[in-house]
Structure 1
């Protein structure tokens, strides 16, 4: 009699145990997936941070170089386009279009245009 009661009790609890096991497996899989997504986003954020730091260093370098100029006609310009940062040193005037467009220059007569990349 006691064995029959124990069997009936086990049969009532067994579906609950199966449901709990399935839920725990589902939750574990979800948590693992979220961790993978989080680490991928963290890697992307670190890459963006490195790019920002490199851009700031390039800008600071160009600003330091342009601060040391003594010739009044020499102009340093930054052109940020698909090819990256470019330093342009020229005698004369400079007109810069929209971001990402090319730099148009008009040098003074007899003065060469120098472009450094």
Structure 2
């Protein structure tokens, strides 16, 4: 879990850096993706908070992961970017990690 928490924090920091960068146009994201980034950060923060809870509520974390998946899948341009691919990879790793925990908790 600690590794996932570190990964999600890195993504949060990176995306917040893009949002706060006065020269954010250099990243090549169009306006709709730039508007999407704060929503992705919010979703990642929810996931981080869920992963830090003890005991871990895998069902709640999975719901947050689904929200992140829906957000990022709606924007093909974002998914094809390097950042979008890393967010997608994190999402996939999170879901794979949660599946066995969901089976234990059900």
When normalised by structure 2's length, the TM-score is 0.30
Higher relative contact order (CA 8 A, sep 6+): 2
Structure showing the higher strand proportion among its residues: 1
User: Rg larger in 1 or in 2?
Assistant: 1
Structure showing the higher helix proportion among its residues: 2
When normalised by structure 1's length, the TM-score is 0.28
